[in-house]
């Protein structure tokens, strides 16, 4: 405990330098602007920035990326409130009550409350990051190849189910496609080239960054250009700085939403939008005035913004301790960490224990930064929303091309970006989620290498995958997750429980 406080104090002192403060300021402001612009997502922002930071000092590069990430998740609330168009998917739930408040002439008040809620949600998540991550890393040291195989499969399965609620099968298919992409290229144990089809450039596999830039960047550009232009911006003329009487009556909602958001962040590959919707649904169920939700409820706005912001530090818990990304943006951060010589995973607390507390310090400072920017620059940021999207998308496309080319200076990576952009757009049009696809690419090598390594250790005997206690538990959770996504099984389970519920209610 005291070591952790010492590491945190050292990390905070290390980031209170002119260079670090400058990077915090511009990266957070860039994140807010990107998040506020419809069609630009936090994942896209982080993926594009990775390509521009690989020559920076590692600590400053991670600092900039984390600030862009947290700023973009917060910035999406600007557009959600003013336009009823979420700047990022994480802010979709914010539109339900944020925009009605704006139409009532309370846009400034709504944005101020959203800012305060985002800050409180992030702080709640930070507390759990500092407390849970060291314990999880210690437990993860007991994992072997058998456990990591099931853990990788669990990440793909749970991401597929929770990001495609209406049709989990589409989520599973997207995850399997990602795993198939990860199998391309030279495998790690015997250096055998697979699925390259004679293309020399494919022998090294498909690089994550161009694939992600295409799936989240170019696909988003194509989607935005397909949709109609947005409506007129509602301007802010009322008070922006929130009053305590707006926030204190809803402290239970804030705490509950922060806890839900943090838990959602811990689940691999799910993301901030699920955290926002889960928090909003829980707040509405327990509210004394659920009829006000969707009509300008402050409680609903607080729940949505607290929930999505708490996912950011929550997502860093599995990212740092297990190398399993808690969100799509966290997947890009894992790639960035490896680029800069940092190895997330169970050995992080042994090899580089101070890094966890550097992330905690970065999140605290970025929270302070987006709170200051959010409360002081609300009216100027409204002007950003009036940039014609045709000009904006052209700039983003150039960044996609340059970013894909910059890391290895290969035109092949640009072609990979274009391919995944078109495929991603087609899949989105068919309502397939992108997060499981990307998570499959990330976790594919982990799943493949640990499956074959485990079989090699046992001379081909697969029984340890099913008999070791931790492996058995994770396997049963995966089976239960898949079964509960089948409508017939879910209905049968509900029917089985219903008589018992009636029996408890009878006198």
- Which of the two residues, 123 and 274, has the higher pLDDT score? 123
Could you read off the pLDDT of 84-138 as tens digits, one per residue? 777 777 888 888 888 888 888 788 888 889 999 999 999 999 999 998 888 887 8
Q: pLDDT, tens digit, for every residue of 288-304? A: 888 888 888 889 999 99
Structure-model confidence comparison of residues 419 and 90, the more confident one = 419
Helix (H, G, I), strand (E, B) or coil at 194: strand
Mean pLDDT of 446-457: 89
pLDDT on residue 386: 66
Looking at the predicted structure, is the pLDDT value of residue 439 above 60?
Answer: yes
Please answer whether residues 298 and 97 qualify as being in contact, where contact means their C-beta atoms are separated by less than 8 angstroms: yes
Answer for the pair 89, 225: CB distance below 8 angstroms, yes or no: no
- Average pLDDT over the chain, rounded to whole? 83
pLDDT at 160 over 60: yes
DSSP string covering 318-361, please?
HHHHTS--SSHHHHHHHHHHHHTT---STTHHHH-HHHHHHHHH
Q: Which of 386-390, 401-405, 483-487 has the lowest mean pLDDT?
A: 386-390
% of residues, the chain, pLDDT over 90: 22
Kindly tell me if the per-residue pLDDT of 230 is higher than 60. Answer: no
Question: What pLDDT is recorded for position 238?
Answer: 59
Residue 507: is its pLDDT beyond 50?
no
Q: pTM here?
A: 0.78
Task: Compute the distance between CA of residue 480 and CA of residue 186 in angstroms, rounded to an integer.
Answer: 34
What's the maximum distance between 2 C-alpha atoms anywhere in the chain?
Answer: 74
């Amino acid at each position: 405990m005291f070591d952790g406080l010492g590491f945190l104090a050292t990390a905070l002192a290390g980031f209170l330098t002119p260079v670090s403060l400058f990077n915090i300021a511009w990266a957070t402001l860039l994140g807010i602007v990107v998040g506020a612009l419809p069609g630009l997502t936090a994942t896209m922002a982080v993926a594009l920035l990775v390509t521009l930071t690989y020559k920076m000092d590692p600590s400053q590069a991670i600092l900039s990326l984390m600030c862009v990430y947290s700023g973009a998740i917060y910035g999406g609330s600007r557009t959600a409130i003013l336009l009823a168009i979420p700047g990022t998917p994480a802010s979709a739930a914010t539109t339900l009550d944020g925009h009605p408040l704006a139409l009532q002439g309370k846009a400034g008040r709504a944005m101020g409350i959203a800012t305060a809620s985002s800050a409180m949600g992030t702080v709640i998540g930070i507390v759990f990051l500092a407390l849970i991550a060291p314990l999880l890393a210690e437990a993860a040291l007991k994992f072997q190849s058998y456990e990591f195989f099931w853990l990788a499969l669990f990440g793909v399965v749970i991401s597929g189910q929770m990001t495609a609620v209406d049709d989990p099968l589409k989520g599973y298919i997207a995850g399997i496609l990602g795993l198939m992409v990860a199998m391309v290229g030279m495998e790690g144990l015997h250096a055998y080239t697979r699925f390259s089809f004679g293309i020399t450039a494919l022998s090294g596999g498909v690089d994550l960054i161009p694939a992600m830039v295409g799936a989240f960047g170019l696909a988003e550009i194509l989607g935005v250009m397909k949709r109609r232009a947005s409506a007129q911006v509602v301007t802010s003329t009322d008070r922006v700085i929130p009053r305590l009487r707006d926030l204190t009556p809803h402290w239970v909602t804030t705490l509950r939403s922060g806890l839900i958001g943090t838990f959602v962040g811990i689940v691999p590959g799910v993301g901030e939008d699920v955290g926002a919707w889960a928090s909003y649904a829980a707040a509405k169920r327990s509210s004394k005035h659920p009829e006000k939700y969707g009509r300008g409820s402050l409680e609903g706005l607080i729940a949505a913004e607290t929930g999505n912001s708490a996912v950011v530090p929550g997502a860093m818990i599995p990212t740092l301790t297990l190398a399993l990304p808690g969100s799509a943006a966290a997947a890009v951060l894992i790639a960035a960490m490896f680029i800069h010589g940092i190895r997330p995973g169970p050995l992080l607390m042994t090899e580089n224990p101070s890094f966890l507390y550097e992330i905690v310090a970065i999140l605290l400072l970025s929270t302070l930064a987006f709170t200051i920017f959010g409360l002081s620059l609300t009216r100027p940021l409204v002007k950003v929303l009036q940039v014609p999207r045709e000009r904006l998308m052209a700039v983003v496309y150039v960044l996609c091309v340059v970013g894909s080319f910059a890391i290895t200076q290969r035109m092949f990576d640009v072609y990979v970006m274009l391919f995944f952009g078109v495929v991603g757009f087609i899949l989105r049009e068919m309502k397939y989620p992108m997060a499981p696809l990307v998570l499959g690419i990330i976790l594919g090598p982990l799943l493949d290498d640990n499956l074959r390594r485990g079989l090699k250790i046992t001379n081909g005997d697969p029984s340890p995958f099913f008999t070791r206690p931790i492996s058995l538990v994770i396997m049963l959770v995966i089976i239960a997750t898949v079964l509960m996504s089948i409508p017939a099984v879910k209905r049968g389970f509900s029917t089985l429980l219903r008589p018992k519920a009636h029996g408890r209610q009878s006198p």
